[in-house]
Amino acid sequence: MNLELKKELPLIGIILIPFVYLATVWNSLPEIVPIHWNSKGEIDGWGNKFTLIGMLFMLPVLTYVIMSVISKIDPKRRMSLMGGKLYQLKFVLVLFMSILALFIVYSTKSQSISSPSFIFALVGALFVVLGNYFKVIQPNYFIGIKTPWTLENQEVWKATHLFAGKLWFIAGLIIIIGSLIFESSAFSKVFLIIVFGIAIIPIVYSYLKYRSLKKKGSF
């Protein structure tokens, strides 16, 4: 068995866990199952139970495929410079998607979300981890803060991702703490504001950084 395959086996195992769990509960599921809940944990969407299979492919499987090919199809050919960090990032994203898939299948089986705050805490943990990885992401067209200004100038890319990494890390901690303290329906609005903020603020920062460097004649 070659080294590359050995590295992928743990990921394949993580991907298969939600499928195995779904298979064990399949016969106990009704034909029509809940597939969506609101911020209060109340069911507000129904679908055929075969929808769950598609959901598993859309979450851990698709994430694994995308993260496996981006370094090969990236026009900038810089993703490989991340070395083992790229594999670690793939591992984190696949693990997150598999945990999310397991939670959705479990909630579908029980027809309730016993702890809606779990989703907020899980997303917060993901932001914390991603915040730590932002500083090592090389310029590319697939992951990171991809704006016209970061893609045009490597210094803008680096500065933006250092800034965004700190922002995402802090935002993740706030989300985790908030999910533990506040009731989920009340915290959902704060959660959306935070997510919007960490998406928009780095974009604005990249533009301002680009303008600043251009005025200095750095490029």
Q: Return d(Cα 90, Cα 84) in angstroms, integer.
A: 10
Determine the average pLDDT of the residues in 158-163. Answer: 97
Least confident of 8-17, 32-41, 138-147: 32-41
Least confident of 1-10, 47-56, 146-155: 1-10
Residue 1 has pLDDT above 60, yes or no: no
pLDDT at 42: 66
Greater model confidence, 151 or 116? 151
Q: How confident is the model at residue 35 (pLDDT cuts 50, 70, 90)?
A: confident
The mean of the pLDDT values for the chain is 89
Least confident of 37-46, 47-56, 84-93, 200-209: 37-46
Q: How confident is the model at residue 41 (pLDDT cuts 50, 70, 90)?
A: low
pLDDT at 66: 92
pLDDT at 75: 79
The reported pTM is 0.88
pLDDT digits (tens, 9 = 90+) for 77-115: 777 778 788 999 999 999 999 999 998 898 888 876 656
* Annotated domain spans of the chain: 1-114, 115-219
pLDDT at 3: 59
Residue 141 has pLDDT above 90, yes or no: no
